[in-house]
Structure 1
Amino acid sequence: MRRETSLSIIIIFIVSFAIYSNTLNSPFHYDDEKVIVKNESVRDIKDFQKIFSSNPSRPVSTFSFALNFWWGKLNPFSYHLVNIILHCLNGVLFFLILRITFQGDILVLVFTSLVFISHPVNTESVSYISSRSGVLCATFYLLSMIFFIIFLRNFRNTGASGLKQTGFYLTSIIFFLLSIGSKETGITLPLILILYESCFSTSIDRRGFLTPSWRDKNVPPIKLKRINVIHYKLYYVPFFVIIGAIMVLRRYFYGTLGNPTFHRDYYKNFLTQANALWAYIKLLIFPVNLNIDHEYFLSGSFLEIKTLLSFIGILILIFGALIIYRKCSEIAFSVFFFLITFSPTLLIPLQDILSERWLYLPGIGFYLFLALFIMLLQDGYRESYHFSKGGKGGLSVIGILLILFFSILTFSRNEVWSSEALLWRDAAQKSPHKARTHNNLGVALAKLKLYNEAIKSFKEAIRIDKHYSPSRANLGRAYRKKGEKSLMLQEAVALFESGNYYFKKGMIKEAIISYKELIGLVPNSVAAYGNLGMLYMSLNEMKLAKECFENVLIYNPKNEAAKKILKEINEGN
């Protein structure tokens, strides 16, 4: 038994490293600049306060980047190595959960874990360094599950709580905290634990596709007295107390339970993500046309045919899982695992509408469902609950071919991450109507000093959205690099007009971005500083407003309006 487990773990590590070995020398990409390269808070591993305050919602992830910086400075190799190790570890943890839960053939468990390790949809989570938050969250999430399962097994079999059981329980809670500290998705864990107990550790004598490994078939199930059930469920209370405390702290730090830096109508987001759920399932089943920046549009009404069909499909999925629960609780668990871990995206608006990295944890439910589905195809499985020799052979062939296919797709997809230009050229081809993909391709080309090609990309982004400020600013910088000052000034004027456009529309955040981009292009723009200062005043950001009007006076000392506003700000303080 131990030898088989050890060999399985070694196989998982080898396959994972082989698949992702071609990412070790890939550069930093996109958000990596903000999260790591230009993030001063990760420079000093001893400054815990600075690390925590830089991103209070994900301090554990930020600390992991600080550890990386201490180890390898800004060498991407060390960051990629850590991501790959975490992905390997998650494959092993997933395998161990299956191992302690199911009594099926070990080939099934290894196969399921290798599907998770090799699935192409996980490339963004592993190859994109700043996506580590999701991978690290999954690591602590699965560790917490393992220790809770061990605690649950001992507690339900003995009905007593000793020092050992308490240790398992407290360790589970600690990993739960670390999971939430890595990414907010960790908050779903208590629901998954309740679901796990319901599906795999009940007092009802049921036969499923697989038998829990701690349940001896010759020993009758433990019968819990009805009066004790409530007492047994008290071990979930601390998990929910922690969630409540985190919500209070989040409200204190950010002033909101949602995303503090981005706002979208909750209703539209809910409708859109209900549609996107089926796009995610499609990516899990057919992992092709992977893209760092998918082109997906907001839903406007529940009565849209696509949205209506999506909700009908979700209801069928939920009711189907509930109906099948009594006969096949394992399948019900896999379905609800996917839906529950996906739910934060459904409820909390984020800037991206569809992102492959958000599938990293929910995908585990799909991989388990896939394994169970293949089990159903085995000859004689329903009768013996074990695989016949023919069944093993069939599973081996199907499993090897599927894992080999996924591995090739993943290795090939990783090549796109070898350079920024390749990554964003791929995105621009697959999302041709999205301004951001063309802008980011232009930025990558400009870094290679391919200014003519970069200008084409920036112009294409502006053609799609004429008020897209980053492209206006980047186009101006490209003209400046080429010495074409008059064209650069044209873009500066366009940026000012975009800022005014957003200001009139009440889109304050977009207006601020436009004026900031203009200042980056033309540092002595008095008009931009003045308008930016007024925007900050409307947000009651008096310190930032004061800095803006002080800059107005640096470039125009005789500006009476700026002097008057500064006087009012100083008197107000």
Structure 2
Amino acid sequence: MEDRSAELRKRKKQNDDCISDDESTRLISTDGNTPKSTFSYEPLLKLIPYRHIVIFASAMLIYSNVNHGQFLHDDIVAIVRNRDVVGNTSLTNLFKNDFWGTYIVNKKSHKSYRPLCVLTFRLNYYLHGLQPLYFHLVNCLTHALVSVLTSVVSHKVIYCRYEDRGKNLAFLVGLVFATHPIHTEAVANIVGRAELLSALFFLVAVLLHNISIKCDSRIVEVVTLSMSVLTAGCAMLMKESGITVFGLMFVIDAFNVYATFNVSKMCATVWKIFRVVMIMAAMSSILFLRFYAMGWTKPTFSSADNPASKSPFLKTRFLTYSYISWVNFKLLLMPINLLYDYSYDTVPLVDCFSDYRSIATLAFFTTSFLVVLKICRKCLLYEFLTPEAWGMLLLILPYIPCSNIFFPVGFVVAERTLYLPSIGFSILMVCFIKNYIEVKSRSASHILLIALLAFYAAKTWERNKVWQTKEALFKSGMESAPDNPKIRYNWANYLRETHRYEEAVIHYEEVLKLQPDYPGALNNLAVILEKNDSTLERAREMYTRLILIVPDRAEAYMNLASIFNRTKDYEKAADIYLKMMSRHMYPILPTISLAETLVENNSLDSAESAISNLLFQFCHARRDERVLGLLAERRAALKLNNNRQSKQCFDEKALFTRALLLYARILHSKGLFEESETMTQSVLKVRKQMEG
């Protein structure tokens, strides 16, 4: 035991010497050698006394060209069409629905539970309505604050042993983070606010946790630790990846137990172990509440969103997920070819070890393992977390939720999910320049740093332009990934919306060559083709294919019936509607319109079948026993099923009376005058109720 204490004192002395020596104020390089020169940017940084203001202003300036952008891509569903945002629901619904406004336990829900982020959207809408400028402005301000907080955390937590020199290093970390092009999707795309706010609360939680470790008062320690746990919970309610701050706090506290272990101070050690237990208990409790809110259900995604997750082969999933980690790191390292959607085969599956991508992945993970091993050895030797260790932790831990390690996610690669891991990357980048470039050539490190920041700023400014309009976004996707069916489909949709129908047809057909069973492309191509009588037959073929692929798509049935109606093939049109009704789909207005057309063409039996099916399925008809009895009698005569009953109702009673009057007309045309009179009396009864 005495030998252990002596060893600890020796290490402490080495540690103190390493930190306090003026010639060695920088962190020991990863090779363990004595530094050859001092890492110094004082000549440059003395000109900038207000570092945080510079970082904030830089972030705001670089993203100033996105403020006049439109609602794009996911913004339409998550904001413009989301009733939780535009105020058509109560505030409590924000905690019952997912990020997109779907009930969280619904099978169709993506289970993205971010109520606090949705609340900020709702506040935006309450103050300024659906004006994109203010939504974008909040995103830019949040990113600027996160950039400043990144510098603050770097100074107060990561480089706290470096005194004034730590401010300079932290300033560089903040600038690298503020300008990195990988953030354009998170900042310029309004729904990326979830990443921004989660990172904001993540960093605040780290600061509070650091205060709880360093403070002398036990009361202050408990309060700040509790506040850090609460803030971490808020980070998770902004975006799921926020939960990883608990993992970071766990590692910090666990390492603190190791570094400060002293047999003579067992009470203090027990308390530190208790802190670790409390952090894990808090994380478990929050995860429990998270899954409880989801109704203990898992999200379901299509194979297009994450092809590897649907592969039946474990080897393919393992190799592909591993390769995707390398792809994400390349995006951080070389943010040159950026893309707004990586679905389908944009990143092809890796299914064999001989694939060159497997070799690249193996080299990446081998190098990473060796670097992590060296960093860990140095941390254990000097008994404190080095900046490199912090960078690695902040890079790896926030990436875990989107890595497919524990559960499949709804995307292959998403640039916005790299927002939080890029904090760790920024720290590692500064460490690399400091430890490997500056020690060889100070001027080279200055040039490299300036060139890096200039490239980042220019690339970010240019990439922001892509997120300003729908045309620019979709066109950029076409230039980067023309073989992605979803990207080409989005471009075709834009062409259709701008009435460039001939071009749209070409691109829809290309989509179907890439993905023959793409429902949206089939439907939208058919919609264009049916505008011209010469291509009406092709439109009919498209709708028929669509019904085979998606049997419950009511729109396809209605459009196909409309085509038969235009070609005066009323019997086939009626058959289509009857098939649709057999699948429990009852479109009110189209069915009424079809029945009216059939009456005009003396197809009375088909008209009666359609309208009686409609009336029988809706609960308003049950208010009149005479009508119910008549419907049952007539349906028996037509050999229609009387057993199925729906609890649905007409949205408008006006449509209900129109359907009853039409049925009365059909019965009158068939010579069933008494039955017709019964329907007419029912109409009068409903009208009185409407007037009352």
Cα distance in 2 for partners of 1:474, 1:516 equals 14
The SS at the match of 2:63 is helix
Question: Structure 1 residue 187: deviation in Å?
Answer: 1.5
Contact 1:289 1:430 in 2 (8 A): yes
Question: Structure 1 residue 396: deviation in Å?
Answer: 4.3
The residue aligned with 1:127 is 188
The residue aligned with 1:422 is 472
The residue aligned with 2:55 is 12
Residue 178 of structure 1, aligned match among 230, 234, 257: 234
2:155 aligned with 1:91, yes or no?
no
More off after superposition, 394-403 vs 422-431: 394-403
More off after superposition, 440-449 vs 287-296: 440-449
1:215-270 deviations in Å (ceiling 9; x for gaps): xxxxxx99883564343133344443444344444544545564345573485555
Residue 231 of structure 1, aligned match among 271, 277, 281: 271
Residue 400 of structure 2, aligned match among 324, 329, 343: 343
Structure 1 residue identity aligned to 2:390: F
Residue 91 of structure 2, aligned match among 25, 30, 48: 48
2:376 aligned with 1:317, yes or no?
no
Question: Structure 1 residue 463: deviation in Å?
Answer: 1.7
1:423-479 deviations in Å (ceiling 9; x for gaps): 111101211111101110112222322222222222221121111111122223334
Question: Structure 1 residue 522: deviation in Å?
Answer: 5.4
Contact 1:36 1:65 in 2 (8 A): yes
Q: Which gives a bigger RCO, structure 1 or 2 (Cα 8 Å, sep 6+)?
A: 1
The SS at the match of 2:218 is coil
Question: Structure 1 residue 552: deviation in Å?
Answer: 9.7
Alignment of 1:504-515 (within 5 A): 511=550, 515=553
Question: Structure 1 residue 180: deviation in Å?
Answer: 0.7
Q: 1:40 to 1:570 in 2, by over 3 A?
A: closer
Q: 1:398 to 1:196 in 2, by over 3 A?
A: farther
The residue aligned with 1:39 is 82
Alignment of 1:133-172 (within 5 A): 133-154=194-215, 158=216, 160-162=217-219, 164-172=220-228
Contact 1:118 1:407 in 2 (8 A): yes
Residue 247 of structure 2, aligned match among 180, 191, 196: 191
Question: Structure 1 residue 565: deviation in Å?
Answer: 7.3
Structure 1 residue identity aligned to 2:545: E
The residue aligned with 1:500 is 548
Cα distance in 2 for partners of 1:106, 1:97 equals 10
Gaps of 5+ in 2: 1-45, 99-103, 105-112, 304-308, 380-385, 563-572, 595-606, 617-639, 648-692
Contact 2:467 2:473 in 1 (8 A): yes
Q: 1:401 to 1:304 in 2, by over 3 A?
A: closer
The residue aligned with 1:385 is none
1:503-534 deviations in Å (ceiling 9; x for gaps): xxxxxxxx36x725525855878778877888
The residue aligned with 2:299 is 259
Question: Structure 1 residue 488: deviation in Å?
Answer: 5.8
RMSD: 3.6
Q: 1:51 to 1:255 in 2, by over 3 A?
A: closer
Cα distance in 1 for partners of 2:310, 2:270 equals 39
Contact 1:496 1:528 in 2 (8 A): no
The residue aligned with 1:471 is 521
Question: Structure 1 residue 484: deviation in Å?
Answer: 1.8
1:402-439 deviations in Å (ceiling 9; x for gaps): 11111011101111122111111110121111110111
Structure 2 residue identity aligned to 1:366: F
Question: Structure 1 residue 69: deviation in Å?
Answer: 0.8
1:331-362 deviations in Å (ceiling 9; x for gaps): 23322332221111122323321121111111
The number of residue pairs the alignment matches comes to 518
Question: Structure 1 residue 131: deviation in Å?
Answer: 1.7
2:527 aligned with 1:451, yes or no?
no
Cα distance in 1 for partners of 2:560, 2:282 equals 48
Q: 1:461 to 1:565 in 2, by over 3 A?
A: farther
Question: Structure 1 residue 272: deviation in Å?
Answer: 2.3
More off after superposition, 9-18 vs 315-324: 315-324
The residue aligned with 1:538 is none
Cα distance in 1 for partners of 2:151, 2:262 equals 26
1:113-167 deviations in Å (ceiling 9; x for gaps): 111110111111111111211111111111111111111121xxx3x511x3333
Q: 1:60 to 1:396 in 2, by over 3 A?
A: same
Cα distance in 2 for partners of 1:256, 1:308 equals 39
Contact 2:561 2:577 in 1 (8 A): no
The residue aligned with 1:27 is 70
1:16-40 deviations in Å (ceiling 9; x for gaps): 1111111011111111111011111
Q: 1:379 to 1:40 in 2, by over 3 A?
A: closer
Residue 281 of structure 1, aligned match among 303, 325, 329: 329
The residue aligned with 1:208 is none
Over the matched positions of the two proteins, sequence identity in percent amounts to 22
More off after superposition, 306-315 vs 121-130: 306-315
2:436 aligned with 1:377, yes or no?
yes
Contact 1:272 1:298 in 2 (8 A): yes
Structure 2 residue identity aligned to 1:37: V
1:97-117 deviations in Å (ceiling 9; x for gaps): 111021234222111111111
Cα distance in 1 for partners of 2:434, 2:576 equals 65
Cα distance in 2 for partners of 1:351, 1:460 equals 25
2:411 aligned with 1:352, yes or no?
yes
More off after superposition, 490-499 vs 346-355: 490-499
Gaps of 5+ in 1: 206-220, 382-389, 502-510, 535-544
Structure 1 residue identity aligned to 2:299: N
Contact 1:262 1:349 in 2 (8 A): no
Contact 1:458 1:475 in 2 (8 A): yes
Q: 1:66 to 1:526 in 2, by over 3 A?
A: farther
> Structure 2-normalised TM-score?
0.67
Contact 1:83 1:132 in 2 (8 A): yes
Q: 1:98 to 1:251 in 2, by over 3 A?
A: closer
The residue aligned with 1:81 is 137
Question: Structure 1 residue 9: deviation in Å?
Answer: 1.1
The residue aligned with 2:652 is none
Q: 1:528 to 1:8 in 2, by over 3 A?
A: farther
Residue 532 of structure 2, aligned match among 479, 484, 487: 484
Cα distance in 2 for partners of 1:531, 1:302 equals 50
Cα distance in 2 for partners of 1:378, 1:223 equals 43
Contact 1:529 1:551 in 2 (8 A): no
Structure 1 residue identity aligned to 2:472: L
Q: 1:41 to 1:493 in 2, by over 3 A?
A: farther
The residue aligned with 2:556 is 518
Q: 1:298 to 1:149 in 2, by over 3 A?
A: same
More off after superposition, 332-341 vs 274-283: 332-341
Q: 1:80 to 1:6 in 2, by over 3 A?
A: farther
Structure 2 residue identity aligned to 1:456: I
Cα distance in 1 for partners of 2:400, 2:191 equals 22
Question: Structure 1 residue 194: deviation in Å?
Answer: 2.5
Residue 178 of structure 2, aligned match among 98, 103, 117: 117
Structure 1 residue identity aligned to 2:643: K
Cα distance in 2 for partners of 1:458, 1:202 equals 61
The residue aligned with 1:362 is 421
Cα distance in 2 for partners of 1:251, 1:70 equals 30
The SS at the match of 1:296 is coil
Cα distance in 2 for partners of 1:408, 1:107 equals 23
Structure 1 residue identity aligned to 2:284: G
Alignment of 1:364-443 (within 5 A): 364-377=423-436, 391=442, 395-443=445-493
More off after superposition, 285-294 vs 554-563: 554-563
Of structures 1 and 2, the larger Rg is shown by 2
